[in-house]
Amino acid sequence: MSLVSEIQRRRTFAIISHPDAGKTTLTEKLLLFGGAIHVAGAVKSNKIKKTATSDWMEIEKQRGISVATSVMGFEYRDYKINILDTPGHQDFAEDTYRTLTAVDSVIIVVDTAKGVEAQTRKLMEVCRMRNTPVMIFVNKMDREGKDAFDLLDELEAELKINVRPLSWPINQGFSFKGVYNIYKDNLELYTPNKQMVSETVKVDVNGVELDKLVGDDDAAKLREDLELINGVYSEFDVNKYLAGELAPVFFGSALNTFGVKELLDCFVEIAPSPRPVETPERVIDPYEEAFTGFIFKIHANMDPNHRSCIAFVKICSGKFERNVNYRHVRHGKMMRFSAPTAFMAQKKETVDEAYAGDIVGLPDTGTFKIGDTLTSGEILQFKGIPSFSPEMFKYIENADPMKTKQLEKGINQLMDEGVAQLFVNQFNNRKIIGTVGQLQFEVIQYRLLHEYGAQCRWEPINLYKACWIESDDATELENFKKRKSQFMAVDKDGRDVFLADSGYVLQMAQNDFKNIRFHFSSEF
C-alpha cells in the first residue's frame, strides 16, 4: 500500500467524558467490533476478576476508574483505528489535555440522566481551541434519563456547538425499544446483551412494517420526532463537522453493546485522517515523505517486571521505521530504536513500521521529556503541550530511609510521566509535589509503594500558586530571588519557580517587580 493510502486509512481519536459516563465501556465495545478482544471485561464487577482492557494499572482495577490514558490500535473494515481512552476524573485532567494534542478527532460520551457535566465542558473548551472535530455518544439509554430533545438543547447550550442527531431513540429506560439510524435509514431493535449485537432492520419509516415492529404509538411518535428533527436541524454537513462547528449525535447503551456499531460505522466514514500540524518553523503535512513526531506522554512501569518507561510518540508525517536513525531535536543527536512497540492497552508488540496518525511506544531510559520532537533530520519543535500551574501542594518525605534510592527513582519517573510536578524549595531543599487534585497524591503514594517498593508520607504546606518566572533584567531577577528566597524553588528542568502563599502576595509581587514575567503554564 502506498504512503498516501496508508495515511488516509488512519483514524486517531480520543474518547473523553465526565467520570462514570461509560467512556471505558464504550472503548471496550469498539475493540470488540474490531476483533481486538473477544470478550468485554465488566468494568465495575468485582465478582468476576475481569476488568476493562484499557484499565490495566492495579489501582484502576481496584477503583473502577481510569487514572492514565491508554492507547489501543486495531483494524476495522479497511481502516486502522487508534483509540486513546482518557481518564475522566478531573484530578487527571492534565493527562487528558495533553492527549488531545495527539488526536485528530474526539468522541464525547454523555450520560443521558446526568447530561453535560463540568469536566465535559472543560474538555470541550480544549477541543474548541484546536477546532477538533467532535462526535457525541449519548449513553445509558436503557436507563431513565432526560428527554432527547431537551438533551440536544443542553448539548448546544453547554458545549457551545451546533448538533445534528444521526440516530434517534425510541423511548428510554424500561420501555427502550431501539434507535432509528438516520444516517443509514434503518432501524436498530434493542435486545440487551453485553457481548452480542442487536438486529438491524431496513424499514420504511412511513410503512406499516414499522408499526408492527415497535407498536402503533411508538411508530407515530418516531415519525413525529423525525419530522421535527428535519424541521429544526439543518442537514448534516461533513465539512462543518470537520471544521469543528457541528457535532453529530448518536444514542445507545455501551454496556449492552447497543448503538455502538452505528457510531463506529459513521465515524470511520466521516472522521478525519491525520491532519496538518503547525510548528513555529512551518506547517507539517502528514503526507510528507520525511518522518516527524512528538512525545505527548511518558508512562513508567508498563511492565512491572522490567521497571521500564515507555515514551509515546504521535507520528505527524511520513513513515517511522524500526532501526532507522532519527534526530532527537532537543539533544541534537541521532538515535535508533530497535524495539518500537504498538499497543493494545499494556499488551504490546514490536512494530517494523508505522505511519502518520499512529502512536508508537519507544523504550525510554530518561532520554525523553514530554514535548520532545523526533524527525528524519530537520530541526523542528512541536508546541502546545503545556503543564499547568498545580493547585494543591504537599511536602513529600521518605517514610523508609532504607529505600531512599527507590523513592528517588520512583519520584523522577512518575514526574516525567506528567502526573504531577516536582519543585525543590531553594530555602530548605525540601521536595514539594504539586498536583491538580487530591486523588493524585493517593495514586502517587500507591504507585511508589507497589511499583518501586518505596514508602512516602505527605506533610502539609500552605501554598496558593506556583508560577514560573523569567526576566530580561538579570539584576531585578536576582533581587526578586533574594527578597523571596523562602518561596523560591526550581522545577525538574531547573527553571525558577515562585511559590506564592496567597493571592495577595502574588499580586503584590507582580506590582513590585514590573520587569519579571509570571507564567502559569510551563510552556513559554
Q: What does the pLDDT average to over 27-52?
A: 56
Distances, alpha carbon 130 to alpha carbons 50, 66, 97, 134, 237, in Å:
37, 24, 11, 11, 20
Is the pLDDT at 291 greater than 90, yes or no? yes
| DSSP H/E element including 320 | strand 319-321
- CA dist 205 and 491 (Å) reads 63
Q: Which pLDDT does position 8 carry in this prediction? A: 94
426: left (phi over 0), alpha (psi -120 to 50) or beta: alpha
Q: Which pLDDT does position 91 carry in this prediction? A: 46
Q: State the amino acid at position 315 in one-letter form.
A: I
> Cβ atoms within 10 A of the Cβ of 97, count?
22
- What confidence category does residue 37 fall into, taking pLDDT thresholds of 50, 70 and 90? low
Encode pLDDT of 299-346 as tens digits.
766 555 555 678 889 999 999 999 999 999 989 999 999 988 886 644
Q: Which residue has the higher pLDDT, 245 or 89?
A: 245
- For the chain, domains (ranges, CATH) are 3-270 (3.40.50.300), 277-375 (3.40.50.300), 392-519 (3.30.70.3280)
Q: Name the β-bridge partners of 72.
A: 83, 344
pTM comes to: 0.77
Per residue, the 3-state secondary structure of 83-101, as one string, reads EEECCCCHHHHHHHHHHHH
- CA dist 168 and 162 (Å) reads 17
Contact 236, 183 (CB under 8 A): yes
> Where is average pLDDT lowest: 47-61, 83-97, 205-219, 243-257?
47-61
Percent of the chain with pLDDT over 70: 84
- CB burial class (10 A; 0-12, 13-18, 19+) of residue 408? middle
| DSSP H/E element including 490 | strand 488-491
Q: Which pLDDT does position 187 carry in this prediction? A: 86
What is the rounded (10 degree) CA torsion for 201, 206, 210, 215?
A: 160
What is the rounded (10 degree) CA torsion for 316, 318, 319, 325?
A: -90
Encode pLDDT of 362-402 as tens digits.
888 778 888 889 999 899 888 766 666 788 899 999 999 99
Q: What does the pLDDT average to over 57-76?
A: 59
